[in-house]
């Protein structure tokens, strides 16, 4: 009888839900940016070298930038696909399709990384040519020329503009239809500009705010105005996620988030803890680029304290800021690995190749 009871208890332990959700080994991710010169996707050999590098460094996820400044490294009808045509000619086949195929040979996921509301410095962006300056977010100061709309050396689209949302939704649709084997899609720059945060004053956005809230006079300290802008960002994110999951059930959908939290919530108008806790996205990658170790660790702890599931928070570590006699990158990576985050993500591949100390750590310290 005692033996039967023991076997029964052993079965219960084996089938316990707690066992099913035990922590997985820390994952590693790597951002691959098109600002690398030349972009990785521009050459067959560089694509194969990236996959080999990821394999050596035990990288599980590649976040590959294929949309930036309204330029496309994929076939597109709404973005400038001159970069795609160049890459296609150099590689001899679709470069992202090649990367996905080669990465999958080693069990490496490929997620498309999209810069949404930033046009960078692209004054010739197709969106601008089609819709004009009214699609750009603005502050209350008069604007006479395109350069007057620059914010932190970038042009920012107005997140609430329905034309912008429709166009960016089409960008996503083109990607998901073109690459059925893509593992995930990550939305970056899904926010308002946070440099001197006083934006959102495009005529359409202001008119809609007044109509919905009944508030005629407001300023940056008006709570309803702050809430409105935060809601515009989240509503568009929901729209993109819904579209992605309809087109590709099971695809991983994520977003990037600003750090520290106060910057994200009060300046960029991102509510990334809600995006996680409400299941809007599968995970958020937080751009934690402080070079102060104490500050970095404080930001990590603060972020983990704001969500219900630490495993749905990725931490990005800025290799591009790691230079000098002290290797900040390796120390911050170590903090991330002990934090309980879902993944530690290096930003970015080109910076690692340029930084011998950080590069050696990343490749040789694989778990």
Residues 260-310 pLDDT 10s: 999 999 999 999 999 999 999 999 999 999 999 999 999 999 999 999 999
Q: Name the pLDDT band for 322 (thresholds 50, 70, 90).
A: low
- State the Cα–Cα distance between residues 142 and 60, nearest whole angstrom: 48
Q: Residue 23: is its pLDDT beyond 50?
A: no
Q: What does the block give as tokens for 159?
A: 């997140």
Please, which residues have CB within 8 angstroms of residue 203's CB and are 6 or more apart in sequence? 134
Q: Examine residue 309 and state whether it is found in any structural domain, yes or no.
A: yes
Torsion sign over Cα 175, 180, 186, 192: positive
Q: Examine residue 261 and state whether it is found in any structural domain, yes or no.
A: yes
- State the Cα–Cα distance between residues 306 and 283, nearest whole angstrom: 14
- When divided into structural domains, the chain yields a total of 1
Burial-class residue 42 by CB neighbours within 10 Å (0-12, 13-18, 19+): buried
**DSSP secondary structure string, 305-350?**
TT-S-GGGEEEEEEGGG--SSS-HHHHHHHHHHTTT-SEEEEE-HH
| pLDDT recorded at residue 332 | 95
Residue 70: domain span: 24-118+159-193+215-364
Q: Residue 1: is its pLDDT beyond 50?
A: no
Between the two ends of the chain, the Cα-to-Cα distance in Å is 45
- State the Cα–Cα distance between residues 187 and 241, nearest whole angstrom: 10
Task: Please say whether the beta carbons of 97 and 177 come within 8 A.
Answer: no
| pLDDT recorded at residue 283 | 98
Q: Examine residue 8 and state whether it is found in any structural domain, yes or no.
A: no
Task: Please say whether the beta carbons of 48 and 145 come within 8 A.
Answer: no
DSSP 23: P
Q: Provide the whole-model pTM.
A: 0.92
Q: What's the pLDDT tens digit per position in 155-200? A: 999 999 999 999 999 999 999 999 999 999 999 999 999 877 799 9
- State the Cα–Cα distance between residues 310 and 224, nearest whole angstrom: 30
Tokens 């990658």 identify what position? 285
Average pLDDT for the chain: 91
Determine the average pLDDT of the residues in 208-212.
Answer: 97
Calculate the CA 330 to chain-centre distance.
Answer: 22
Q: Residue 324: is its pLDDT beyond 70?
A: no
Tell me how far CA of residue 2 lies from CA of 13, 16, 246, in angstroms. 17, 21, 53
Position with higher pLDDT, 24 vs 303: 303
Q: Examine residue 137 and state whether it is found in any structural domain, yes or no.
A: no
Q: Residue 53: is its pLDDT beyond 70?
A: yes
| pLDDT recorded at residue 9 | 36
Task: Please report, for the domain that includes residue 87, its CATH number.
Answer: 3.20.20.80
| pLDDT recorded at residue 244 | 98
Q: Examine residue 14 and state whether it is found in any structural domain, yes or no.
A: no
Q: Residue 81: is its pLDDT beyond 90?
A: yes
Phi, psi (deg, nearest 5) at residue 245: -75, -25
**Angle between the N-to-C axes of helices 356-364 and 328-337, in degrees from 0 to 180, rounded to the nearest 10:** 30
Calculate the CA 117 to chain-centre distance.
Answer: 12
Instruction: Report helix, strand or coil for 69.
Output: coil
Please state whether beta strands 61-68 and 71-72 pair in parallel, antiparallel, or not at all (unpaired). Answer: antiparallel
Burial-class residue 8 by CB neighbours within 10 Å (0-12, 13-18, 19+): exposed
Least confident span in 57-66, 116-125, 310-319, 322-331: 322-331
- CA neighbor of 187 nearest in space, from 118, 236, 248, 115: 115
Q: Examine residue 312 and state whether it is found in any structural domain, yes or no.
A: yes
The percentage of residues in the chain with a pLDDT greater than 90, rounded to a whole number, is 86
Q: Say how many C-beta atoms besides its own lie within 10 A of residue 6's C-beta.
A: 10
Q: What is the largest CA-CA distance in the chain?
A: 88
Q: Say how many C-beta atoms besides its own lie within 10 A of residue 128's C-beta.
A: 19
| pLDDT recorded at residue 196 | 78
Q: Examine residue 102 and state whether it is found in any structural domain, yes or no.
A: yes
| pLDDT recorded at residue 24 | 55
Q: Examine residue 132 and state whether it is found in any structural domain, yes or no.
A: no
| pLDDT recorded at residue 26 | 73
């Amino acid at each position: 009888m005692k033996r039967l009871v023991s076997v029964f208890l052993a079965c219960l332990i084996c089938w316990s839900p707690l066992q099913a959700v035990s922590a997985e080994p820390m994952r590693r991710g790597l951002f691959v940016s098109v600002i690398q010169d030349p972009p990785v996707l521009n050459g067959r050999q560089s694509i194969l070298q990236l996959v080999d590098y990821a394999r050596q460094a035990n990288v599980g996820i590649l976040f590959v930038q294929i949309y930036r400044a309204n330029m496309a490294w994929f076939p597109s009808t709404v973005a400038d696909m001159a970069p795609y045509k160049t890459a296609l000619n150099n590689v001899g086949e679709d470069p992202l399709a090649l990367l996905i195929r080669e990465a999958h040979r080693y069990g490496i996921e490929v997620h498309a990384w999209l810069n949404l509301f930033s046009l960078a410095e692209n004054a010739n962006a197709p969106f601008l040519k089609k819709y004009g300056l009214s699609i750009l977010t603005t502050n209350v100061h008069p604007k006479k020329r395109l350069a007057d709309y620059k914010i932190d050396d970038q042009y920012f689209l107005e997140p609430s503009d329905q034309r912008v949302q429709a166009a960016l939704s089409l960008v996503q649709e083109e990607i998901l239809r073109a690459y059925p084997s893509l593992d995930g899609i990550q939305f970056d720059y899904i926010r308002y500009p946070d440099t001197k945060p006083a934006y959102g004053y495009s005529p359409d956005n202001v008119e809609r705010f007044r109509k919905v809230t009944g508030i005629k006079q407001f300023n940056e300290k008006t709570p309803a105005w702050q809430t409105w802008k935060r809601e515009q960002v989240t509503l568009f994110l929901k729209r993109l996620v819904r579209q992605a999951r309809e087109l590709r059930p099971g695809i991983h959908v994520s977003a990037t988030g600003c750090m520290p939290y106060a910057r994200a919530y009060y300046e960029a108008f991102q509510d990334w803890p809600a995006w996680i806790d409400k299941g809007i996205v599968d995970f958020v990658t937080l751009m934690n680029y402080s070079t102060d170790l104490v500050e970095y660790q404080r930001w990590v702890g603060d972020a983990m304290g704001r969500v219900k599931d630490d495993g749905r928070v990725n931490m990005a570590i800025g290799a591009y800021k790691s230079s000098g006699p002290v290797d900040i990158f390796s120390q911050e990576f170590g903090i991330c690995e002990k934090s309980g985050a879902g993944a530690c993500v290096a930003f970015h591949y080109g910076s690692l190749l340029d930084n011998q100390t950080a590069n050696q750590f990343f490749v040789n310290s694989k778990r």
